[in-house]
Structure 1
Amino acid sequence: MDFHIFRLFRFISVAVFVFQGSCYSDKAGYYSFLRDAKSAPTLSHYDYIVIGGGTAGCALAATLSQNATVLLLERGGSPYDNPLATDIGNFLNTFLNTTPNSWSQLFISEDGVFNSRARVLGGGTVINAGFYSRAEADFVAESGWDREEVEAAYEWVEKKLVFEPQIKGWQTAFIDGLLEAGVTPYNGFTYKHIYGTKVGGTILDPDGRRHTAADLLEYADPKKITVYLHASAHKILFTTTGTMRPKANGVIFQDANGVFHTAKLAAHNAQNEVLLSAGAIASPQLLLLSGVGPAAHLADHGVDPVILDHPMVGQGMGDNPMNAVVIPSPKPVEVSLVQVAGIPHFGSYIEGLSGLSLSISLTHSFFDGVINLLNEIKLPTKTLSNFFKLLDLRFNITTQAGGMIQKVYGPISRGHLELRNTNPDDNPSVTFNYYQDPEDLNNCVEGLSTIIKVINSQNYSKYKFPGVTGRGLLDLILALPINLRPRHINSLFDLKQYCKDTVMTIYHYHGGCQVGKVVDNDYKVLGVDALRVVDASTFLKTPGTNPQATIMMLGRYVGQKILRERADFLETKEEL
């Protein structure tokens, strides 16, 4: 390590975790239909039951309530309980808070990478970096979606919670650096996915307040929707009569006092359905817990009865690997989350943010949570030794730094999800197999090489110390406890090894209930009636640079489709 890097070491903290995080939107009061699950009746009936009040679930439930009664179950609380958390300055405080009732639930993949699951109304839009960008045209075409309806669904979301960001000094230098590094042309502000460098939308308003998918419930009919908070779904119920296909007919959920409640589909309409929108971790997990999955695996965990031997549930798990570089600045930088994306012609996207800081107490609290979770899941001691060595390091805290990340597109590498136990509130066992495919690894190298060019560019030079190079800054990340993976001495000289050693998540995990494998093109679970999955677990790859726009759009898009089917059914029934 050269002398300049050594001097800069004291500026770096575990702030590498800034690359995704959260707050949410400002609300004067509560929706009238938000209730604690403890107030739920023992038995209730609805036309549609949506499990998961997250990025897709809020859009889906709000849409369905236009013409049917809807129950939305959310295992977490309301983002409106803490208005201060809407401030951009609380981004990391929200994201790294992993206490039992927090909005962010820590989980660690079998690959040794820290990840996080949202448990709050609004889902991941409450704990992310806010960047809003639509899917690429090819993704829409491959999904078989109607382009005009997709456009209308995106606009429905954007009217409620998306803004044009205010680009200041650090982000301007980042743009200029990307262009100098060859990520051209400059496309200005746009929601579209276009090759080159662009400014995307953000769900943070000009005052730094966050707006989330929960705000889409403003579209809901308050007379037809009920939202239960702190409602943990335990099992989807099925009717299994003779040789007929299993048919979903309800859900069992538990409130915060441990009392169980049953919600069932109203019997008056055969079009009524259960819709699973619990996210890429919880949706396949709940299918397994409900008896839909590989029969042998279900039997191993005592899941009874097995409703359907469905071997693809939990398969095809993907998570876009992320690698980061932190750049200490000789001058103050603004606090900014992701506002700009570089979209090169190779399979990696470049994003950046600046000026975020951590308190030592917050850092220690987060790693206390890591250690507690490691003890719970009984990871091998050998895996932990490197982590504890890194954790012994002490760093000062600074806001005078920027960060750049590369996210591998796709990815091609795939893993799987399995039950660890039968408690739906616990994390299942998830393996993503980061960088298993050589093409993913090559794209990482290309992405990091581009970041190094941006840092070394003339246009970015005022935001780094004299004599510091992009390549030299890689040493900083290697010294931080960013994951549980081993470090190799040749990482600084071999970018492929560096990618493997310093891999993190950008929290864009998907798969487990993929289209064509677990659900059909209408998101109906194969082999089961009255049950759909509508969330990122159905994706074969991540849409665009950041998926939240498309996940919210999907909730609206599928909701509209279901309502049309419902109307057609009722019309046909009347004619008969």
Structure 2
Amino acid sequence: MGTDTRCWRLFGAAILFFLGFCDSDTAPNFTFLHNATRAPAISYYDYIIVGGGTAGCPLAATLSQNASVLLLERGGSPYGNPNITNLSAFGAALADLSPTSPSQRFISEDGVINARARVLGGGSCLNAGFYTRASTDYVSEAGWDGRLVNQSYEWVERLVAFRPRIQSWQSAVHDGLLEAGVVPYNGFTYDHIYGTKIGGTIFDVEGHRHTAADLLEYANSTRLTVLLHASVHKILFITRGNLRPLAHGVAFRDASGIKHRAYLKQGSKNEIIISAGAIGSPQILMLSGVGPAGHLKANNISVVLDQPMVGQGMSDNPMNAIFVPSPSPVEVSLIQVVGITRFGSYIEAAGGENFSPRDYGMFSPKIGQLSTLPPKQRTPEALAKAVEFMNSLDEAPFRGGFILEKVMGPVSTGHLELQTLNPNDNPSVTFNYFQDPLDLERCVQGLETIERLVESKAFSKFRFNELSIPTLLNMTVGAPINLLPKHANSSRSLEQFCKDTVMTIWHYHGGCQVGKVVDHQYKVLGVDALRVIDGSTFNYSPGTNPQATVMMLGRYMGETILNERLANDESK
């Protein structure tokens, strides 16, 4: 999209704001957006998409060009919510634990506090905004068509991707990475390339977030229906003797608890597509009777298909961060610069007073990010105590920023199981952080790279000379985030630091992986007329941030499905 077009979009958004449109629960001009309480008891569509998140929105917009589409989202609208829209409010939605929050907190069996989206636009409404494509190797290994992948990324980028404005803190991180050996310098690019680069962001120059929900601007409004606060309880199947089960509808409830059913219109091309995310998609499959037979029977669920790989291969990229107090002011910034190392760790940074652990920053106990205690000790009481402690300090200890490392992949995997039959409840999830030694090795190498960055000449303006990395890791007084001594030997290893301070960067994936639960066209193995299209299908998290690729995948598969539909029509 050209500069002039973006200016007109921002101008139009400003006009709508002053007219009061932004206070409503619907997006401007989105006539297809409705509360599920307005839905008929029974309805019929060519495609039914379960989940209006990062993949579901671009998928629905694309399919609506040539078919009737129902998009069911369990959450509400992101529009008019300043905690979603404004960069300065980052983290406030993640800290909201109310039943209507756009973020639903869950705690993995590992003890790490995490979050899943509950809003139209999915995780793109809650994240730190970094926008970057997957590597060419990732695209090749996925078996995707490179030309269509690039076209799909560009389709997304015309509406939601921007170039960030780099200021002094991010510049120092950038130069420090180069000095630390994370080379070459690749400039500003969306591409995933070894070295140091400036990536994209979904926050525009005014600090306003643009989400996957914005991609519904591409939709054919006469063929799309989006229902908010629509909680899907199960996929409905027709069993046909020796034939494969056929998905033909969904059962969902509105916010009042009223039951509704939506069915596919008659036709061999029509399908149901689950895009409920890495937590929601395997959960819905299991609730619908597709999953490990023993687990389903134990939960009194009738087995439609014994599929033992549903819920397996769950992974969350471990993140470890170091808070660096600064003698100089640090501007407010989320992730903008990234170092992509060859050993499998990504180095990034965020800083500024508004994002300190005292407020609602990426590393605040208010949003569940607490690394001063090992994961199993991060109880609600511990979180409250950490918040109280930070509130008792003056502003000085919070002047600075975080430098983090995220482990690529990861190699370690876990699993997901149902805890209740309510789709709005969290399932039990285990990620097994650092179970594989390679992940731990990458974490250590990432921390060593951060040490070289912090001690670089380029970063000296933002470093107290007397604070070495070992000192930072072992601060016991006034430290807002870093590890407090927990072991008899105060000179702990970096391996132990990785394990004790692990947090999430919200890039979990798996549960419906390609080749195990779905085929390479994302069709669920063993049943008909059902696909899963979202991050639950990933074996590895793409790039340094998956959101661009998840949005791309929605567009890519929408185009692929429409092309299949057209080919079927022409063959008749």
Q: Same fold (TM over 0.5)?
A: yes
**Equivalent-residue separation in structure 1 for 2:35 and 2:13 (angstroms):** 20
Q: Which moved more, 1:76-85 or 1:230-239?
A: 76-85
| AA aligned opposite 1:284 | P
CA distance in 1, matches of 2:231, 2:483: 30
Specify the SS of the correspondent of 2:248.
strand
CA contact (8 A) 1:315 1:415 kept: yes
1:329 equivalent in structure 2: 326
The separation in 2 between residues aligned to 1:382 and 1:557, in whole angstroms, is 40
User: Which 10-residue stretch deviates more, 29-38 or 471-480?
Assistant: 471-480
CA distance in 2: counterparts of 1:46 and 1:294, whole angstroms: 30
- Whichever residue aligns with residue 296 of structure 1, its letter is G
2:289 corresponds to which of 288, 291, 304 = 291
% identical equivalent positions: 58
Alpha-carbon separation, structure 2, partners of 1:124 and 1:382? 23
The 1:389–1:220 alpha-carbon spacing in structure 2 relative to 1, beyond 3 Å, is closer
Note the C-alpha offset of 1:393: 3.9
Cα distance in structure 2, aligned partners of 1:491 and 1:234? 51
Q: Distance in 2 between matches of 1:369 and 1:470?
A: 26
* Compared CA separation, residues 180 and 483, structure 1 to 2 (3 A): closer
Deviation at 1:488, TM superposition (A): 3.7
Residues 47-86 of structure 1: pairs in structure 2 closer than 5 A: 47-83=46-82, 85-86=84-85
Counterparts of 1:485 and 1:213, CA distance in 2: 39
1:343 aligns with 2:348: no
Query: What SS is found at the alignment partner of 1:250?
Result: strand
1:140 alignment partner AA: V
Match of 1:277 in 2: 275
- Once residues 474 and 308 of structure 2 are traced to their aligned partners in structure 1, the CA distance between those partners, rounded to angstroms, is 43
Q: In the alignment, which residue of structure 1 is the partner of 2:371?
A: none
SS of the equivalent of 1:81 reads coil
In 1: Cα distance, 2:207 partner to 2:196 partner: 23
TM-score (norm 2): 0.89
1:422 matched to 2:421: yes
* Matching residue of 1:256: 255
Q: Is the 8 A contact 1:478 1:502 kept in 2?
A: no
- Whether the aligned pair in 2 keeps the contact of 1:204 and 1:211 (CA below 8 Å) is yes
Moved more, 532-541 or 392-401: 392-401
Q: Secondary structure at the match of 1:80?
A: coil
CA contact (8 A) 2:409 2:541 kept: yes
The equivalent residue for 1:163 is 162
* Equivalences for residues 7-406 of structure 1 within 5 A: 28=16, 29=21, 30=27, 31-83=30-82, 85-267=84-266, 269-303=267-301, 305-355=302-352, 356-357=354-355, 393-395=389-391, 396=393, 398=395, 400-406=399-405
The 5 A counterparts of 1:408-487 are: 408-475=407-474, 487=486
CA distance in 2: counterparts of 1:360 and 1:347, whole angstroms? 31
Aligned residue identity for 2:67: A
- Contact kept in structure 2, 1:130 and 1:203, CA below 8 Å: yes
User: Are the structure 2 counterparts of residues 510 and 488 from structure 1 closer, same or farther at C-alpha, using a change threshold of 3 Å?
Assistant: farther
Q: Deviations over 1:408-458 (max 9, x none)?
A: 001110000000111111110000000000000000000011111111111
Q: Secondary structure at the match of 1:240?
A: strand
* Alignment deviations for residues 317-337 of structure 1 (CA, whole Å, 9 cap, x no partner): 011000001112122111111
Cα distance in 2 between the residues matched to 1:518 and 1:82: 36
What is the match of residue 510 of structure 1?
Answer: 509
| Structure 2: distance between partners of 1:337 and 1:380 | 28
Unaligned runs of 5+ in 2: 1-11, 22-26, 369-374
Shift of 1:88: 1.1
Q: Determine helix, strand or coil for the equivalent of 2:186.
A: strand
Q: Tell me the C-alpha RMSD between the 2 structures.
A: 2.7
Over 6 Å off, 4+ runs: 359-363, 366-370, 379-389, 477-486
Cα deviation, residue 466, structure 1: 3.0
2:519 aligned partner: 520
Contact 1:105-1:119 within 8 A present in 2 as well: yes
Give the match's secondary structure for 2:244: coil
**Secondary structure in structure 2 of the residue aligned to 1:341:** strand
Cα gap change, 1:569 to 1:306, in 2 (>3 Å): same
Letter in 2 for 1:138: D
CA distance in 2, matches of 1:318, 1:491: 31
Deviation at 1:359, TM superposition (A): 8.6
> Cα offset for 1:357?
3.6
Distance 2:484 2:280 in 1: 25
Letter matched to residue 101 of structure 1: T
Distance 2:453 2:67 in 1: 52
